[in-house]
Amino acid sequence: MTRQLGGILGPLTTPFDPETGDLAPVSFRCVLDAHLAAGLEGVVLAGSTGEAALLDDGERRALVEWARPRVPADRWLLVGVGSESTRLTIRRAADAAERGADAVLVVSPHYYGAAMMTGEALRAHFTRVADESPRPVVLYNIPKYAHLTLEPALVGELARHENIIGIKDSSGDLELLRGYLSSQSEEFAVLTGSGSGLHPALEMGARGGILAVALFAAPLTTDVWDAHRAGDRARAAEAQARLVPLAREIVAELGVAGVKAALDAVGIPGGPVRPPLVSLPPEQRARVRELLRAAELEPAA
């Protein structure tokens, strides 16, 4: 794929069979088809919202194999391949490429946090992954889970690598995003991972977003995107205002369990999370439905 990375992409959840806990292929295909039909520019498999840390490598490969025939050539299929090991990250990138991924999303190694703080280890890691990955690399900054931040200066260096095409910034920090945007070019795109900050990020120059909130609120996220591109700031701001409570309460506060509950509520298979995560209790599910009703997104009973 040679086109520029951009638009609104959905980081798909991973459906599990409620009885066995195994991957649920029929539900997965329903989830994938629903988000492509909603007009998203592409999907991400095995990301944070996809419970990547709880998937084994065979499951990761299966998801790509199931998705590739259903994702049109003009949409993005990104696959999360990050791990604590440079060697394993490269192997996962090769697995994803062999099964048809358009690009790979790479989160920072973070278990040995102190060793990553200087930037030298991260620079070497991302450079080697980009050197050896058969598909383009998208950096992934998510301090909430990685407990470290990719510094703008390091991102600026990595952005010059011919096989690194962008970054997803899920920090929600607009000043940090501004630092990344200083490295944006025709070859390197900055996308936000913050649904509550989508419109401000686009106004600053971000080329789109990879947004968990888009999974259950695609009409609102695409409305922000379309209005922004049309120069209709009032319409974009109105859609953004409806989006913020969903992104903050369902995604940021309730996490993957909240996203899956919201999917169930809007008629898309969400289902259980995988232990040690715990699905929402009834009172939190009721709150999710209340938020969706307020945004006019919950389907009629």
Catalytic residues: 168
Taking the C-alpha atoms of residue 271 and residue 257, their distance in angstroms, rounded to an integer, is: 9
Which backbone phi and psi does 222 adopt, to 5 degrees?
-70, -30
Distances (CA, A) of 89 to 57, 95, 125, 129, 229: 11, 10, 9, 7, 35
What contacts 56, CB < 8 A, 6 or more positions away?
A: none
**One-letter identity of residue 240:** Q
Taking the C-alpha atoms of residue 233 and residue 199, their distance in angstroms, rounded to an integer, is: 9
Task: Tell how strand 7-11 and strand 103-107 pair up.
Answer: unpaired
What contacts 208, CB < 8 A, 6 or more positions away?
A: 5, 6, 7, 8, 9, 41, 189, 191, 192, 202, 225
**One-letter identity of residue 20:** T
Distance between first and last Cα of the chain:
41
Q: Is the peptide bond before 276 cis (omega within 30 degrees of 0)?
A: yes
